[in-house]
Amino acid sequence: MIYLSIPPRIKVLEAVSAIAHARVKRTNGAFKVRASVGNREYTVILNDTWAYSDDNGTLHRGYVGYPIIAAMIMEGTVPSFPELGEALKDIRWAELNARMASYKKVESYAKKVARKAGIGDEIVDKYILDVIAVLKVKKLKFKDIRQSTLNP
């Protein structure tokens, strides 16, 4: 198993908005996370030392994808910020990421949306850093269970 790297900052905001938008469900020891656009649904399985998710960031880029972060928020492993999630819940992340082609620009847009809801940039930055700090301590490994015939 390999260690998952720290995700781009924007993935923290995607995760908190997915929860507020009711796109994260716990089912039979796993989590199902629906994408903000389209009908894609990701499966997340968490353990104390490893995680599995079939989102692109986790599978193909090797970082803790937003579905894993969302599941960790639901479990209480990383901090939650419901007010921020509520402010960002209607963002169509995949479309925005494709259109802007820059996570930094997408983060600026998300902060603008948060400011309209009364949440300042410093508060958003602190939340992102708090979540990333937990991910750095956790140091999750990626367990690829796609070929496994056993329960994880």
- Domain boundaries in the chain? 2-142
Tens digit of each residue's pLDDT (9 = 90 or more) over 63-116:
999 999 999 999 999 999 999 999 999 999 999 999 999 999 999 999 999 999
Return all residues near 77 (Cβ < 8 A) that are at least 6 apart. 46, 134, 138
Query: Whole-angstrom Cα distance, residue 22 to residue 125?
Result: 23
Query: Whole-angstrom Cα distance, residue 16 to residue 24?
Result: 10
> Dihedrals φ, ψ of 77, to 5°?
-75, -35
pLDDT confidence of 149, banded at 50, 70, 90?
A: very low
Residue pair 46/72 in contact by the 8 Å Cβ criterion: yes
Burial class (CB in 10 A: 0-12, 13-18, 19+), 114: buried
| DSSP state, residue 31 | E
**Predicted pLDDT at 148:** 58
Q: Is the pLDDT score of 132 beyond 60?
A: yes
